[in-house]
Structure 1
Amino acid sequence: MSRQKRSVARLAAVQALYQMEVSGVGAEAVVREFSEHRFDRGLDGEGSETLAAADEAFFGELVRGVVAEQGLIDKAVIRRLAEGWRLERLDATLRAILRAGAFELMRRPDVPVEVAIDEYVEIAKSFFEGPEAGFVNGALDGIARDERAG
């Protein structure tokens, strides 16, 4: 599977997690919507926002995995927030980025730490122009040290 297809899957997973948080829709409905309507099927996608070819299995695993393990993932993220900060204070997009990145670091030992961190820092840069990318880098680096030590 090409790295590009995984990159698209990660971006789509962040978008899906954000969508789920703001709309309250469930994981299976969002995975189905992305699969049927957002991923490029080589069809005439006039007027619809499509994503380039993605590793759809990886996308589904990320979305379902974050939902299934959100309690553990949020604890890992909270450990890396500044004292006194609550997860709810973060922008919803930033929460989605951190949750997806933390899931990969916690549950996908086949994905190198540097690759996971790099990918989510780039996603943060695509959404934010401020210090958020650096924040994502620091938080995920800390989670990687917590989760993959030894």
Structure 2
Amino acid sequence: MSGHASRSVARLAAVQALYQMEVSAIGVEAVIREFTDHRFDRDIEGVGAEGAEGDGATLASADEGFFADLVRGVVAEQARVDAAIAKRLAEGWRLERLDATVRAILRAGAFELARRPDVPTEVAIDEYVEVAKSFFEGTEPGFVNGALDGVAKDVRPARNQPTG
């Protein structure tokens, strides 16, 4: 699996882990361990290990270091991450009012935008919009796009300056 694809899997897993932590009160290291030990690189049942063309038949290959960085980072900086998101919500809206999955998507996306300058802004936003599309068919992906675009303007101010 390419580096891009393994990071996409890591982002989706980070959102799932953040959601799981919120609804079950499991700790950050426990949830990272659970994903690392039980969810990543598991053989798909009924498929031989040889796979096609020698490719292993695994359910998901994730950039586990990137996954752990996202989950730990969101937890360590949750107050700052939540403030960045809240600033971009409509007047009168609170983060707690959002669906827990949307909250997890926005938290992971806002952290990545703020703390991972190695990831281009458009890539980060597009990736989390795709994550939103994997959970929602309604207006949520557009909402995620707008909110993260606003967060990016705040946390990556150089993006707004004219070039040349």
Which TM class, normalised by the smaller chain length?
over 0.9
Q: Which runs of 5+ in 2 are unaligned?
A: 47-57, 159-164
TM-score (norm 2): 0.86
Q: 1:24 and 1:4 mapped to 2: Cα distance?
A: 29
1:84 equivalent to 2:92? Answer yes
RMSD: 1.7
- Quote how far apart the aligned CAs of 1:40 are: 1.3
Paired residue for 2:104? Answer: 96
63, 70, 76: which one pairs with 2:78?
A: 70
1:101-120 alignment runs, 5 A limit:
101-120=109-128
| Cα distance, 1:83 vs structure 2 | 0.2
Q: Distance in 1 between matches of 2:59 and 2:121?
A: 25
Find the counterpart in structure 1 of residue 27 from structure 2: 26
- In 2, Cα distance between equivalents of 1:122 and 1:51: 19
Secondary structure, in 3 states, of the residue corresponding to 1:53? Answer: coil
Who wins on radius of gyration, i.e. which is larger?
Answer: 2
Other structure's SS at 2:68 match: helix
> In the alignment, is the contact (CA less than 8 A) between 1:8 and 1:51 conserved in 2?
no
Unaligned runs of 5+ in 1: none
Between the aligned residues of both structures, percent identity stands at: 75
Q: 1:145 aligns with which of 134, 137, 153?
A: 153
The answer to whether the aligner puts 1:57 opposite 2:65 as a matched pair is yes
Q: Give the 3 Å change call, closer, same or farther, for CA 91–99 of structure 1 in structure 2.
A: same
Q: Which secondary structure does the structure 1 equivalent of 2:149 belong to?
A: helix
Q: Does residue 4 in structure 1 map to residue 5 in structure 2?
A: yes
Structure 1 runs (4+) deviating above 3 angstroms are 41-45
| Count of aligned positions | 147
Aligned to 2:41, what secondary structure does the other structure show?
Answer: coil
Structure 2 counterpart of 1:29, one-letter code: A
